[in-house]
Amino acid sequence: MSVQDTAEGAVERLIGLTERLTERLAVDSHAFEVRRPHEAAERLEETSRLANIYRHEVVQVRSDPTLVARAPRDQRHRLERASEAFEAVLARHGRALFAAREVTEGVVRAIAEEVASTRQANAGYGPGARAPKSAAATAITLNQQA
């Protein structure tokens, strides 16, 4: 196996992985955008597996940048185009995840505020005051670091 074959093989693997991840993330982004995150969750294991392989390939290329430099020009251009498409889809995916997280946190916050206001309305002194029901304890947890 020549050095050229090694370079072409490494770049071709990276192109293939990049294109597959781009396609998967585009589908997952769409699932989040149309409010069907469960569809993205069903695909998570395979996407994570591909992302780990991609990370490994990128580390290999970064440790030996001549792998890409020795690849044929047309192959390098394909890698550039695949990387640009991947970065665009990755940005879209990030926006979709951020929006989904914001919606989820908003719903949880609204529920927590409603529970808190209900608890406060039942407490106090005076003609409208009621004794708190100790048997009806509820709990809700908010994680600000989600």
| Position 16 in a domain | yes
| Position 129 in a domain | no
Per-residue pLDDT at 90 exceeds 60: yes
Each residue's pLDDT tens digit, 34-64:
989 889 999 999 999 999 999 999 998 899 9
Domain range spanning residue 55?
Answer: 3-99
| Position 122 in a domain | no
**Count of structural domains, the chain:** 1
| Position 108 in a domain | no
Q: What is the mean pLDDT of residues 85-102?
A: 92
pTM of the complete model: 0.70
| Position 41 in a domain | yes
Per-residue pLDDT at 66 exceeds 80: yes
Q: What span, in angstroms and rounded, lies between the C-alpha atoms of 99 and 41? A: 16
| Position 130 in a domain | no
